[in-house]
Structure 1
Amino acid sequence: MTHTLVLDRSYGLDDLFALTLNRYPLARKKKKTIRVSDTTSLVWNPSANEATIEVPMHRDGGPSEIPDGFGFDTAFPNGVPAGEEREILEFALNAVRRLGGKVVTDTGHELAPHQFMQPSLHVIAAYELAPKDLLEIVQKIVKESELVGETEGFPYMISAPIFAHADLVVEATTLEEDIPAIEHVEWVKEGAALYTVAYRPDDPSSLVAENPEKPQIREWREAYLGCSAVARAIWDETGGFVLDYENFLVNPNELF
């Protein structure tokens, strides 16, 4: 059996390919096939609005001690995917998280991460905002926001209470990692500022859930709305790029 990526009918092969390039910039589309690498492809079936995931099987041990939030332990009780298989499955799950749909594994399980799971956004900008300037931006949205500690420049952090048990945190740092979706941009190569807008509950395990209850979904959504408003306000000031927590590009004009 093979894995299948089933997309919401609102989206199709071109949308999937655009998202694929965020993670695999060298991917190529020919007719109905997206070739990710020499050994991994997504073969599109337009009548079912789904893609068959062709990848060598690589399973590693049994269930992990810490749930991953994707549901791999449930779907693969005899050994979770590893290596290239794990990588393409994680991409597929992020694709359905962003576009809607589900991933049907070769074991027959259906996985569908909620779109608001792990509410967090990144703004990549060409220049650094002074702490007082960023604080002013955030306070327009959450007036109780405050700088954490004493600082005059990068790196620094702003914290804003949004629930009794959770804060919205903005971390201003220098971009260190290579992000496939934007690594070709010259000013990013030369050095960029990274503003991470994240929801930080007292219990980090509440950030992910394979089958979230309605109260959890409502909280994720409210947290995402807060992160979205702050990220959009930062982007309005700095320009640059907005990405989700898995470093897939987000259209700033579609932020709430």
Structure 2
Amino acid sequence: MAPLPPLPVHDPALADRHLLALPDGVEPDEVEVLASSRFRNVRWEAASPGDAATRTGVLPAVTAALGIRSVGARANTTPVRALRLARLSSLAGPYGVAVEDAVALGLPASTRTVWVLSAPRERGERPWPGGDRDGLKRAFPDGLPVREEERVLQWLVAAARRLGGAVRTQTGAILTPDPDASTDLTVLTSRWLEPDDVLRIVQRVQPRAYLSVATPGSWAGPASRTGRGSQGAVGGSPEAGGSGLRAALERYGVADEDERHRLMAEADAYDELMLAAPPPAEAFGVLVDLGVDGMLAVEVSATEQLPPLLEGLPWVADGVVAYRVRWEPREIEQLEQERPTLDHRVARSRSAPLVCAVARVLHAEVGGEIADESDFLVDPADL
């Protein structure tokens, strides 16, 4: 395989770009798949030395700083391409980088390839105090990226987390997202399972799991709101809800006492029907108490938000059900810390395998695809 063109570390334009630094072994098609998981219409574009950097956002493979030596070697290197992410944003690469150059740029010494992001500079207000898991508040203290720059930069950080890399922002800050910080998984499928069925599946790996919905029949319903006694005579003590319903009927012009009683009796009958034959659940949850490590939750509901990679597939046409497997620590604010406490990391290390185990058994039952927190698809064999 031909060597990669060297990163033009001395090009002044490089200092004005966001960089995605990746370790050895990451292929361009992996970057493309992650881009297609977040953006629509992702495509490769040619990036020749004749392209204008200000127009395409692609740094030429040959620059004046690299001299004639690079010109002679250019024919023996892999050509640089640009991956179009959005209307105004593209990612050029991969470039090879020497260890000393990576360290000089502040990147991890394990960096072997670098991708150069060209995106519009769109900054908003200064960041508010609070959580900063991705480190963007630290990187942009004078104004956070907004609109397209925000979207592509968030994807850049998510890609670095998934691929074990790092991001160097245009401000010079280095973001090294922790891959272990992404714990939650979602099974996306066309199959709907009833709450008791999901509970039984989860209990295969977590016997202490229980439904978070109310047990059917645990509520007896409201007492009669008709205002009649047990023999149907007027004058019984109405419930507070009945008084509110009577006042509402009077407010909307139902002045006839018998008509009000008829409408209130219909309301009673509807409540009794719902208790006897409640409608099927449209969303529910299963919980597992992990003690000092927090809670594990499986949230089930229909969803219309899908990774672009799944849109248009035949099995999504009739609707998609999301089985979201989440870990919630006891100190929830630690989830948004760039450097969480040791106790949080220990609890996370014990809980993450449980999330994977639950997602794995659910996927084995309902099929479909598994996505992580960033909407990147996950191979079940990797769980």
The residue number in structure 1 matching 2:222 is none
Amino acid at match of 1:46: Y
1:100 counterpart residue number: 164
Which moved further from structure 2: 22-31 or 125-134? 22-31
- CA distance in structure 2 between the partners assigned to 1:247 and 1:15 by the alignment: 14
Say whether the 8 Å CA contact 2:89–2:119 is kept in structure 1. Answer: yes
Structure 1 position 47 matched with structure 2 position 96: yes
Which position in structure 2 is the counterpart of 1:224? 352
C-alpha distance 168-29 of structure 1, shift in aligned 2 (>3 A): same
- The answer for the alignment partner of 2:128 in structure 1 is 64
**What is the 5 A alignment of 1:169-208?**
169-208=297-336
TM (normalized to structure 1)? Answer: 0.93
Whole-Å separation in 2 of the counterparts to 1:214 and 1:68: 17
From 131, 135, 150, the equivalent of 2:215 is: 150
Deviations 1:112-143 (A, max 9, x none): 22112142110011111121111111111111
Aligned partner (choices 7, 22, 25) of residue 37 of structure 2:
22
Shift of residue 43 of structure 1?
Answer: 0.6
Q: Is the 8 A contact 2:334 2:341 kept in 1?
A: no
Judge conservation of contact 1:118–1:199 (CA < 8 Å) in 2.
Answer: no
Residues 38/118 of structure 1: CA separation in 2 closer, same or farther (3 Å cut): closer
Mean CA deviation greater in 95-104 or 184-193: 184-193
Deviates more, 1:228-237 or 1:10-19: 10-19
Count of residues paired in the alignment: 255
Q: 1:63 is paired with a residue of what secondary structure?
A: coil
Alpha-carbon shift at residue 202 of structure 1 (Å): 3.2
Superposition deviation, residue 111 in structure 1: 0.6
Amino acid across the alignment from 1:150: T
- Structure 1 runs of 4+ with >4 Å offset: none
Choose 217-226 or 21-30, whichever is displaced more: 217-226
User: Structure 1 stretch 159-168 or stretch 192-201: which is displaced more?
Assistant: 159-168
Higher mean C-alpha deviation, range 227-236 or range 176-185 = 176-185
> Is 1:12 matched with 2:61?
no
CA 1:84–1:174 in structure 2 vs 1: closer, same or farther (change >3 Å)? same
1:86 maps to 2:150:
yes
Are residue 235 (structure 1) and residue 363 (structure 2) matched? yes
Structure exhibiting the larger radius of gyration computed from Cα positions: 2
Q: 2:327 & 2:343 partners in 1: Cα distance?
A: 16
Aligned-partner residue type, residue 90 of structure 2 = S
**Structure 2 counterparts to residues 89-168 of structure 1, below 5 A:** 89-148=153-212, 149-150=214-215, 153-164=281-292, 166-168=294-296
Residue 65 of structure 1 and its aligned partner are, at CA, apart by 2.8
User: 2: CA distance between counterparts of 1:201 and 1:217?
Assistant: 10
CA distance in 2, matches of 1:242, 1:45: 28
- Cα RMSD of the aligned pairs, angstroms, is 1.7
- Taking the aligned partners of 2:357 and 2:370, their CA distance within structure 1 comes to 12
Q: Structure 1 stretches of 5 or more lacking a match?
A: none
Report the alpha carbon displacement of residue 251 of structure 1 after superposing the two structures with TM: 0.9
Instruction: Confirm or deny: 8 A CA contact 2:182 2:372 kept in the other structure.
Output: no
Are 1:35 and 2:84 an aligned pair? yes
Q: Which runs of 5+ in 2 are unaligned?
A: 1-15, 46-79, 98-112, 217-279
| TM-score of the two chains, using structure 2 as the length reference | 0.64
Quote the offset at 1:248 in angstroms. Answer: 1.3
Deviation at 1:29, TM superposition (A): 1.7
- The one-letter amino acid paired with 1:24 is F
Residues 18-61 of structure 1, C-alpha deviations (whole Å, 9 max, x = no match): 11111113111235210112310001133131111100101111
Change (3 A) 1:201 1:214: closer
Distance across 1 between alignment mates of 2:317 and 2:130: 35
Aligned partners of 2:143, 2:162: CA distance in 1, in Å?
Answer: 27
User: What one-letter code is carried by the residue in structure 2 that aligns with 1:106?
Assistant: Q
Distance across 1 between alignment mates of 2:81 and 2:175: 24
Identity, % of aligned pairs? 29
**Structure with the higher fraction of residues in helix conformation:** 2
Any idea what SS the aligned residue of 1:119 has?
A: coil
In the TM superposition, residue 12 of structure 1 has moved relative to its aligned partner by 2.7
Paired residue secondary structure (1:190):
coil
Letter in 2 for 1:16: V
